[in-house]
Amino acid sequence: MKTSPLLLKITPILVVLALWGCSGKTDVASTAVPAIAGSAPASAASAPMTPVTVTTVRAVLRDFPVLLKATGTVTPLTSVEVKAQVTSVVTQVHFKEGQFVKAGALLFTLDARTDEANVAKACAQLAKDQAALADAKRQFERAKQLLSQNFISQGALDTNQALVDAQQATVAADQAAIDAARVALSFDRIVAKNSGRAGAVTVFPGSAVQANVTTLVTITQLDPMAVAYSLPQRNLPGALTGLQAGGAPVIATLPEGGGSYNGRLQFVDNAVDPNSGTVKVKAVFDNREGKLWPGAFVEVSQTAKTIKDAVVVPHAALIQGARGTVVYVVENGKAVMKPVQLLYAQDNDAAVTGVKVGDAIVLDGRQNLRPGTPVVERAKAPAGNSAAKTKAAAP
């Protein structure tokens, strides 16, 4: 019988393996088997996760105002252009530019010689007609005596009565003429109709002014002061609600650290501008210090409504994902992902539902977290420290 060459090669190998198995050296056999590529040791699978250092902020409970923001313009409640009501010449200016004047204060005096002469002329005419009236009354009394003695007819007495009545009407007309002349004379003394700050004076003694044409000065009321701004049409219901409640709170902030001022909504226009889709509104502010100046631009924040007892967290702690908005909360030293619903966000804060008051909300380090990741909490560094580190790190 002929032996196969393959069998001759395999036989010595089988004999060697049988001898190693009988000797009990299984460790040699195990080391001889190569490891499967990509397989991880069993100890690595059970190794603990590395803790992540995070900064946390506690969720707080407070009333959260819903603010409507816009850019407004400071506008005076009243601004009067003072003009002469008669054509004349300025004889004297009784105030200085930029001076605060009160209502009724004398501002300008015009040349009144013509008007004074007209008043004197009307008074003289009144005196003349009064004398004529007295004579007519005497003639009427004499006529009544003559009628009683049958020296004149009743017709003659009636004629005298008519003369008296006509003369009385003439005297009344003269008195009206005097009143009109005095009104014209009063126009030569121009007084302030409202209190406010005087602007630039455009005329001087000797300047000719034209009636109801030449502007002498502008008197602008500075306290209180209004701020006019526009709101989008979608915010109109909130503005109307605030107006009906006695005026919603409004905050005006001047640029470049000029300060903030509290006022109240006073006016909402009766129509929406079809070109811009906005509605004009106006708020009124106390301006005793004179910081709000006409024509200045301010940032306006109007309180549309207030969310009562809202749970407030930092806006930066919210994470937008495919399944909605979530936050990481630290519970028992581990990160727990919780879905939340955003009610309203304003500046750095957000009112949400889905977390409880006092929960430790992860602010910094949330990008390195997964559900169940161990965390190490650290206090949030003050803004000044962060700025100092940034400045120190700068070359």
Q: Are 252 and 283 in contact (CB under 8 A)?
A: yes
Q: How far apart are CA 75 and CA 226, in angstroms?
A: 5
pLDDT value at residue 10: 52
CA angle 361, 362, 365 (to 5 degrees): 175
Residue-wise pLDDT tens digits, 284-341: 999 988 899 999 999 998 887 788 899 999 999 999 888 789 999 999 889 999 999 9
Tokens of 204: 């001087």
Q: At what angle do helices 154-186 and 113-148 cross, to 10 degrees?
A: 170
Count how many Cα atoms sit within 13 Å of the Cα of residue 153 in the half-sphere of its side chain. 3
Question: Which residues contact residue 315 at a Cβ distance below 8 angstroms, ignoring those fewer than 6 apart?
Answer: 345, 347, 348, 349, 350
CA 284 to chain CA mean position, Å? 9
Tell me the Ramachandran region of residue 372: left when phi exceeds 0, alpha when psi lies from -120 to 50, beta otherwise.
Answer: left
Q: How far apart are CA 113 and CA 139, in angstroms?
A: 39
| Residue ranges, CATH 2.40.420.20, the chain | 52-66+308-380
Residue-wise pLDDT tens digits, 327-353: 999 998 899 999 999 988 888 899 999
Residue-wise pLDDT tens digits, 243-271: 887 788 899 999 988 889 999 999 999 99
pLDDT value at residue 178: 96
Confidence of residue 381 (pLDDT cuts 50, 70, 90): very low
Q: Which amino acid is at 168?
A: Q
CA 112 to chain CA mean position, Å? 48
Enter the CATH code of domain 71-77+221-304. 2.40.30.170
Question: Which residue from 369, 276, 290, 298 is spatially nearest to 327, judged by alpha carbons?
Answer: 369
In the chain, where does DSSP find H-type helix?
5-23, 26-32, 42-45, 113-148, 154-186, 236-244, 383-393
Q: How far apart are CA 92 and CA 105, in angstroms?
A: 14
Name the one residue in this structure whose structure tokens are 């007295």.
Answer: 134
What number is the average pLDDT over the span 194-217? 93
Class of domain 52-66+308-380: mainly beta
pLDDT value at residue 22: 46
| Residue ranges, CATH 2.40.30.170, the chain | 71-77+221-304
Q: How far apart are CA 334 and CA 54, in angstroms?
A: 11
Q: Are 242 and 302 in contact (CB under 8 A)?
A: yes
Q: Which amino acid is at 213?
A: V
Residue-wise pLDDT tens digits, 121-151: 999 999 999 999 999 999 999 998 988 888 8
